[in-house]
A and B are shown apart, each in its own frame.
Chain A
């Protein structure tokens, strides 16, 4: 099951690299499909993380996007996931931007920027899988503190 669902980070990275390096025409010709693929890559990155931690990835969505639900699921009990919160939203934003107007003159650049956001996500989550604790010392460092003082119910993740 885990192997079926899990994406290999190298494959994701290779696909992302291709989108960043591809000539404009190749991107323009397949813009809506590539935008959807970027979002799917983002979801697969989270699936891999969740599966590696013995959790079944959710099929739910938040604000209409599964990647946001997967991020929320990953962030439960792991506040350092906050460090990629906006990257998920940026990925959704670029996806929407491209899908909304796939013939826009700037569409190739938009795809490349979306791919760069996906690359950051892959590096961050991939890094967390390889190095326990990546990101836990900085922005949202609360794992130890959480054990001592339970989070207020009203606190956003």
Chain B
């Protein structure tokens, strides 16, 4: 436990107020159980998601910068974003504002028009929920607090694509021992192992889930997800742990769709890492929002004495 990140600004983003509300709930409950404080950004806005970024990338930079500006105004130097998309976009905005004069110019112009201070790169650090728990509590801190070990639970950790890509917007990663790896991320593995889980070798932990193409090319997304699910099962996993609401929802939805459309049934369960850690700390399944997930892991959790 480093003492860092005991109180951070919290940027839930749109997904955590919609399909990812179980992630929002479990992140908050986990923080509370660990004695960590979060303060939600006041009047936050969309980070620019995928849509704005692809149509007008500088507008996306501004939208993310406004959130960073809010964190600064609230007196924070760190904002925690559990959604991979939000995390990625805030990091990208930070990078663009530091490196690209045109992005700074657009952000300044729009900030003045909107009547708030222009965010300056280097003022607020964006972290993921994984960084938050890893730094603020650490593996030893977690081990000491575990009441309901995840022992016997085999987990494949799925990080998705936006947590580590593109590498240059994550300057704190790949810094050697103790830092996160962009080619083989391990923070979620470390935390869940500390809670007693057996994390299996999962060769597709950063592979594409086709998440953004769920509407435009649903079959490709389903096939990609089906391969993620069957590979996890081949690795011996009971559960796929997720740390992104888009990946999580995609895995759950396409698990159902793969059975309906392709007749391929898989039984691996999908849970947010915050739900798993919460239950390891003794929180009930209900409290960490397991009933709000699309798939129902209650049989497995009962078998393992969790929740």
Contact = CB atoms under 8 A, between A and B. Distances in A.
Interface of A: 20, 79, 82-87, 89-90, 93-94, 109, 112-114, 116-117, 119-120, 123-124, 127, 130-131, 134-145, 148-149, 152, 154-156
Given A113-B235, A117-B204, A155-B168, A134 B227 contact: no
A157 to B, nearest CB: 8
A86 B230 contact: no
29 contacts: A79-B166, A84-B207, A85-B165, A114-B203, A116-B204, A120-B227, A124-B208, A127-B217, A127-B220, A131-B213, A134-B217, A134-B220, A135-B212, A136-B54, A137-B50, A137-B54, A139-B88, A139-B166, A145-B53, A148-B57, A148-B58, A149-B102, A149-B103, A152-B99, A152-B168, A154-B168, A155-B168, A156-B167, A156-B168
A82 B164 CA distance: 10
B62 to A, nearest CB: 13
B54 A135 contact: no
Contact of A138 (B99, B162, B183): B162
B103 A123 contact: no
Interface string B212-239: 1100110010011001101100110000
B108 interface: no
Interface of B: 50, 53-55, 57-58, 85, 88, 96, 99-100, 102-103, 160-162, 165-168, 183-184, 203-208, 210-213, 216-217, 220, 223-224, 227-228, 230-231, 234-235
B183 A112 contact: no
Contacts of B53: 141, 145
A83 B161 contact: yes
Chain B interface, DSSP helix/strand/loop, else mixed: helix
Contacts of B230: 116
A74 to B, nearest CB: 14
Contacts of B184: 86
B161 A87 contact: no
Contacts of A152: 99, 168
